[in-house]
Amino acid sequence: MGTVHIVGAGLAGLSAAVRLTEAGRRVILYESAPQAGGRCRSFYDATLDRVVDNGSHLALSGNRSLLGYLERVGASEALSELRPAAFPFLDLGSGERWCLRPGGLWLFDKARRVPGSRPADYLAALRTLTARPEAAVADALPPDGALYERLWRPLAVSVMNGAPERVSARLFGAVLRETLLRGEAACRPLFAEKGLSAALVDPAVAWLMRHGADLRTGTRVDGLERAGDRVAALSVDGERIPLGSEDTVVLAVPAWIAGRLLPDVLPVPPAAGRAIVNAHFRLPAPIDLPGGLPFLGLVGGTADWLFRRGDVLSVTVSDADALAGQPAETVAATLWRDVAKALGTAGTAPPPHRIVKERRATPDQSPVHAANRPGARTELENLVLAGDWTNMGLPATLEGAVRSGEFAARAVLTARITTFSRLGLFPAFTLPRRGPI
């Protein structure tokens, strides 16, 4: 059995590495950054004297691949679950507050649904499940009424990082199918209270180290050398590393880098999507948010979500290209205005803060790009793809990234069977080349 060379130690690469190591394969992970985690990571900020995340991430209890990954690496307790599921909101324009509490007969209880919505309005969600591939969220869900402005739009923007008019209805429907439509137990919010790296990255890295995998941080793969229908060598920081005849490569880098490394295998590089901006404010003391929960959804302002972690209050804005183009101080002032309004302290100056602009937060998730995502297998027999932009059936999320890593691992582990069946030795095992793998 050859070595599996995994390029990129974000959640997709880590998830593939865990599965392959578990299956007894020798794994080398190359990561260009000094730390694993990719777009899901924590760092120490000296201004705040706190560890903060590159951006607050919300997962849901229906994210079975993410939870399975954590269980495998012995970190089942890493995320804290809000039980029963609840999503508090505040309209900054009208001052109205509500809390969405899915589960049971919630739609028939006015206090648990969006004010101004009727139970029948929610049935529109089903249309996203059967939407045409070219449909955007706004084509499937009627862009009018209270439910659209107070639920579908904020949900589409935060889950898909794009306006409902631009992002794929099918991908959005896939999230609803695995969470909201499965009832309360599948939509409990999950938080990384000690930070993203501590919850989702460090336990996997420690597990991989304990099980003999080789993680090389600060190591960039800058080229893949092709010979016929195989990858023959990697260029690692300019040095040629020849691959053995049984070696495989899992490319788990962001879409825009994969396109650069593989111009002839992926001739149209998937585009980067919109920015996500986060502001972390260090408060004089921990506070309670309106609604009494660790997070709060906002509509009618610039800020989308507030997350409270100790004395740090973090603000997230998705689909934020315009905001990301402004100087950090302007961003801080704009977002603090929304925070202060929500907290009833309007007119106060922003406390110490750190602004993080992730300009390439997710790949483009328009219907066209969603319909053209590549599966894990490629035309090269020892090259497999992973990442939140590949065809794993979900939007670019933690769950999507982890699941793509699982598909990639499965493609590696079944490659020998495919090779044998191509030679006519195992005709019964021929695998279809359609779908995610």
Ligand X SMILES: Cc1cc2nc3c(=O)[nH]c(=O)nc-3n(C[C@H](O)[C@H](O)[C@H](O)COP(=O)(O)OP(=O)(O)OC[C@H]3O[C@@H](n4cnc5c(N)ncnc54)[C@H](O)[C@@H]3O)c2cc1C
User: Interface with ligand X by CB under 6 A: which residues?
Assistant: 7-13, 30-33, 38-40, 54-55, 57-59, 220-221, 252-254, 257, 276, 278, 358, 361-362, 387-388, 396-399, 401
| Main-chain phi, psi angles of 175, to 5 degrees | -70, -45
Q: Minimal distance in Å, beta carbon 205 to ligand X?
A: 12
Residue 58 or 124 with smaller CB distance to ligand X: 58
Q: Which of 406, 358, 369, 403 is nearest to 56 (CA)?
A: 358
Q: Minimal distance in Å, beta carbon 257 to ligand X?
A: 4
> CB burial class (10 A; 0-12, 13-18, 19+) of residue 223?
middle
| Pair 399, 390: CB distance under 8 Å | no
Residue 113 or 369 with smaller CB distance to ligand X: 369
Q: What's the angle, vertex CA 225, arms to CA 390 and CA 373, rounded to 5?
A: 15
Q: Minimal distance in Å, beta carbon 195 to ligand X?
A: 13
Q: What is the DSSP code (8-state) at residue 146? A: H
Q: What is the DSSP code (8-state) at residue 330? A: H
Distance separating alpha carbons of residues 32 and 222, to the nearest angstrom: 10
Please give the structure tokens belonging to residue 307: 């997350």
Given the structure tokens 């195989």, which residue do they identify?
230
Residue 138 or 361 with smaller CB distance to ligand X: 361
Q: Minimal distance in Å, beta carbon 164 to ligand X?
A: 17
Residue 26 or 220 with smaller CB distance to ligand X: 220
| Pair 261, 224: CB distance under 8 Å | yes
Q: Minimal distance in Å, beta carbon 176 to ligand X?
A: 14
| Pair 179, 187: CB distance under 8 Å | yes
Q: Minimal distance in Å, beta carbon 360 to ligand X?
A: 8
Please give the structure tokens belonging to residue 298: 């906002």
| Pair 149, 143: CB distance under 8 Å | no
Residue 55 or 102 with smaller CB distance to ligand X: 55
Q: Minimal distance in Å, beta carbon 102 to ligand X?
A: 18
Distance separating alpha carbons of residues 197 and 130, to the nearest angstrom: 36
Residue 34 or 432 with smaller CB distance to ligand X: 34
Residue 197 or 382 with smaller CB distance to ligand X: 197
